[in-house]
Amino acid sequence: MQYRPLGRTGVQVSTLALGAMNFGRIGRTTQDEATALVDASLEAGINLVDTADWYSAGESEEMVGKAIAGRRDDIVLATKATMPMGDERNHQGSSRRWLITALEDSLRRLGVDHVDLYQIHRWDPNTSDEETLSALTDLQRAGKIRCFGSSTFPAHRVVQAQWAAREHHLSRYVTEQPSYSILQRGVEAHVLPVAEQYGLGVLVWSPLASGWLTGAVRRGRDVATHRSAILPERFDMTLAHNRARLDAVEQLARVADEAGLTLIELALGFVTAHPAVTGALIGPRTPEHLRTQLAAADTVLSADVLDAIDAVVAPGTDLAPHEKHDTPPALLDPSLRRR
């Protein structure tokens, strides 16, 4: 396992990190299974565990808390807030009112007195940067979080938040967590350069493109991934962008074969090769998933292999732009672009 500095925090984290989104009802993972995944991950050298209050409505945090009991100090523990937690309209977002409540709920579920990294799960257009950063700064000074970051922020919002922190003399986001894979390279054009400019740690999610880059999705083969059952439209081959993804996967599989790698090793080696990236979040549901992903822990891709990947999917290109999760609200809601 390799380790890199998490931005400018002074904390060293593994280049593969354990994402716990599949813990609980989302991944149909039991407590015993979740604990086994944490055990195997720590044994392999992973030292960062990432979860969120929204994952399985808090169940993921509860499972992580039980799995890490007795070894909290050896783990860089990260969680997130802002996604809706129930139907109450104020139980979401990044207001001071909600963040303080959400963090207390997360600490209770995790069974800890602090988290190392607290992340704003999505940009909240209804809350000012000053409001959010002020609340996070106070939580940091109270010792309940060690540092904080953003997740899936558009590049201009990352810059705006950095400016607001300086303008109002508040602590700043020190990490960003974007979606990044060979099939979704749009962040290379804006987000990753901004992260480098501001010295942010970058923890990328969905490096295996929701299962597209695991080897399970190939031409002439029935698509039977866990994600295909949850999000069937992402694997509907009648859609042009999915056919484009399948074409790319077939070409990438040949690149991997020629390099003596699995497709998973190629995919994880690709994202961790970018100089802006600190680490990649893997989200295994089973020990076998974890084993195949841990095999990429020390994968280093040659320039020739990286060039071959560029020839398949051009730098800065998203093969499914609508899945970026950082689209400005005005592009999704017509009422926001009309007077």
Considering the domain boundaries, does residue 92 fall inside one? yes
Considering the domain boundaries, does residue 229 fall inside one? no
Range of the domain at 290: 3-211+272-300
Q: What mean pLDDT is predicted for residues 282-299?
A: 95
The proportion of the chain whose per-residue pLDDT surpasses 70, expressed as a percent, equals: 97
For residue 139, is pLDDT > 90?
A: yes
For residue 138, is pLDDT > 70?
A: yes
- 106: amino acid identity, one letter: S
pLDDT at 224: 61
Higher pLDDT, 99 or 226: 99
Considering the domain boundaries, does residue 250 fall inside one? no
Mean pLDDT of the chain: 94
Considering the domain boundaries, does residue 67 fall inside one? yes
Considering the domain boundaries, does residue 254 fall inside one? no
Residues annotated as catalytic are 55
CA nearest to 118, candidates 129, 130, 106: 106
Q: Find the Cα–Cα–Cα–Cα dihedral 262, 13, 202, 314, rounded to 10°.
A: -20
Total number of domains constituting the chain: 1
Q: pLDDT tens-digit profile of 183-235?
A: 999 999 999 999 999 999 999 999 999 999 999 888 877 766 555 556 778 88
Instruction: Note every long-range contact of 168-171, with CB atoms under 8 Å and residues 24 or more positions apart, other chains counting.
Output: 168/130, 168/133, 168/134, 170/130, 170/133, 170/134, 170/136, 170/137, 171/133, 171/136, 171/137, 171/140, 171/147
CATH number at residue 153: 3.20.20.100
Q: What mean pLDDT is predicted for residues 102-129?
A: 97
Considering the domain boundaries, does residue 307 fall inside one? no
**Residue 291, H or E segment:** helix 287-294
Considering the domain boundaries, does residue 329 fall inside one? no
CB 13 within 8 A of CB 6: yes
Q: How does strand 16-19 pair with strand 12-14?
A: unpaired
Considering the domain boundaries, does residue 264 fall inside one? no
